[in-house]
Amino acid sequence: MSGLREEARAWLAEALSGPFADLKGVADFTTAPPRRREWEQALGAAGLSCIGWPKAYGGRGASIAEQVAFAEEYALAKAPSRVGHIGVELAGPTIIAFGTDEQKARFLPDIAAGRALWAQGYSEPNAGSDLANVRTRARLENGRWVIDGQKIWTSLGMYSDWAFVVTRVEEGSKGPKGLAYLLVPLDQPGITVRPIRQMTGEAEFAELFFDGAVTDADNIVGAPGQGWAIAMATLGFERGVSTVVQQMHFANELDLLIATAKANGKARDPLIRQRIADAWTGLEIMKHGLIRTLSDESTEQLGEEALTSKLYWSRWHRALGDLAMDVQGLAGEIGHADEYRFDQLTHMHLASRADTIYAGASQIQRNIIAERGLGLPREPRGDL
């Protein structure tokens, strides 16, 4: 067992049995927001917040194997879902790769220490999976970017301090051209944040309305017109080591489902047993696929095989949600009226309905696989 694995296991055990015992097993992102900030700051103080970052920027320069080991220990300890993950896994790596020295000095220490939470300003009402269709605009005035528009499905937008926002900066531009990648403070008069309640009962997402919101002129990553390329690079970071934690949470869900099936007798149903076996097999396929994807430490670029992961796990997780409801039976349909919440398996089922939509719908994922992975030409659009 690596030294980092031992260190993480010991620290997590002590923290989750002591000062943060109330957060053990908390899988959603909206329970006890102040305590979640404290947890992020505790991770930062322990040097366990962003272990894969270079040491110069507050990380530990951990290898892929060490990052996988930490992710495994984090999930096995049933540590809470990280509200700082967008900063640690997306904003931080993007700033490290493309930001100026001034941006790195300004933003990275607060992310690493858990002092600043970040949100992703990509999707819009008419630009979900079609990110190139964004209409939010920004213009330079008196040394500041002035932003007008709207973003939607912004994860943890109501709790975040900053957002990286893809916005159109070239008048008359269309598609991926003329975009910029701006770093925008959210606590200002020009921004209205409106939480979106989901059918799970919680409000993990928010709408962001920009009405003359501002950010300094130097809070642009790259140059005007490079926003699309940088936004795509950010999505590449999203499909890296961070997915190990996701898969470990999937494993915890499957374990709970199996325990429920044994307890209520559904495990004796041969069809249920077969579906559980299929779910376990699918999880193993994901695990080995991820190891193959991350095995080349000589490059930070993921191979083309990574393009298939979102399509695969989203379909698998939705099927697991269906299985969870069949295992529970009528008991899974009973919620807690006082809190408008369901138990963990029902919550997982409801949340998994969106898996094939967010972060690129399955139809978009198939196009990406065809065009980028297989090199197939785009189908020309003829007259209808």
Same domain membership, residue 48 and residue 23: yes
Q: Domain containing 282 — which CATH number?
A: 1.20.140.10
Same domain membership, residue 289 and residue 185: no
Residue 177 belongs to some domain of the structure: yes
Q: What is the DSSP letter of 369?
A: I
Residue 113 belongs to some domain of the structure: no
Residue 356 belongs to some domain of the structure: yes
Residues with catalytic roles: 238
Distance CA 99, CA 103 (A): 6
Specify the DSSP element, H or E, that contains 195: strand 191-196
Q: Which of 83, 103, 134 finishes a domain?
A: 83
Residue 206 belongs to some domain of the structure: yes
Same domain membership, residue 250 and residue 219: no
Same domain membership, residue 214 and residue 249: no
Q: Domain containing 136 — which CATH number?
A: 2.40.110.10
Q: How many CB atoms lie within 10 A of CB 329?
A: 10
Q: Which of 196, 223, 250 finishes a domain?
A: 223
Whole-prediction pTM: 0.84
Residue 295 belongs to some domain of the structure: yes
Crossing angle between the packed helical segments 64-76 and 270-294, to the nearest 10 degrees: 150
What tens digit of pLDDT does each residue of 210-256 get? 999 999 999 999 999 999 999 988 887 765 566 777 888 899 899 99
Q: Which of 176, 193, 223 finishes a domain?
A: 223
* Full pLDDT tens readout for the chain, 384 residues: 469 999 999 999 999 999 999 999 888 888 888 999 999 999 999 999 999 999 999 999 998 888 888 988 998 899 998 999 999 999 999 999 999 999 999 999 999 999 999 999 999 998 766 778 899 999 999 999 999 999 999 999 999 999 999 999 999 898 899 999 999 999 999 999 999 988 777 788 899 999 999 999 999 999 999 999 999 888 877 655 667 778 888 998 999 999 999 999 999 999 999 999 999 999 999 888 877 776 665 545 555 667 788 888 899 999 999 999 999 998 888 776 555 567 889 989 998 888 888 777 788 788 878 887 788 887 655 444
> What letter represents residue 247's amino acid?
Q
DSSP string, 122-165: --BTTBSS-GGG---EEEEETTEEEEEEEEEEEETTTT-SEEEE
CA 198 to each of CA 99, 251, 314: distance values in angstroms, whole numbers, following the listed order = 35, 24, 18
Residues of the domain holding 313: 239-373
- Token pair in block for residue 334: 């009973």
What tens digit of pLDDT does each residue of 149-206 get? 999 999 999 999 999 999 999 998 988 999 999 999 999 999 999 999 887 777 888 9
Same domain membership, residue 343 and residue 245: yes
Same domain membership, residue 334 and residue 297: yes
The alpha helices in the chain, defined as continuous H runs, are: 3-17, 33-45, 64-76, 85-86, 92-98, 101-112, 227-238, 242-264, 270-294, 309-328, 344-352, 362-368
Same domain membership, residue 194 and residue 153: yes
Same domain membership, residue 244 and residue 269: yes
When divided into structural domains, the chain yields a total of 3
Same domain membership, residue 173 and residue 254: no
Q: How many CB atoms lie within 10 A of CB 212?
A: 12
Residue 89 belongs to some domain of the structure: no
According to DSSP, the β-strands at 118-121 and 162-168 are parallel
- Token pair in block for residue 246: 């996701």
Q: Domain containing 77 — which CATH number?
A: 1.10.540.10
Which region, left, alpha or beta, applies to residue 134 given φ > 0 means left and ψ of -120 to 50 means alpha? Answer: beta
Q: What is the DSSP letter of 183?
A: E
Burial of 152 (0-12, 13-18, 19+ CB in 10 A): buried
Distance CA 381, CA 379 (A): 6
- Token pair in block for residue 262: 């044994």
> What letter represents residue 87's amino acid?
G
Residue 99 belongs to some domain of the structure: no
Same domain membership, residue 350 and residue 248: yes
Q: What is the DSSP letter of 377?
A: P
Same domain membership, residue 253 and residue 187: no
Residue 13 belongs to some domain of the structure: yes
Same domain membership, residue 363 and residue 269: yes
- Token pair in block for residue 352: 């998994």
- Token pair in block for residue 293: 């994807």
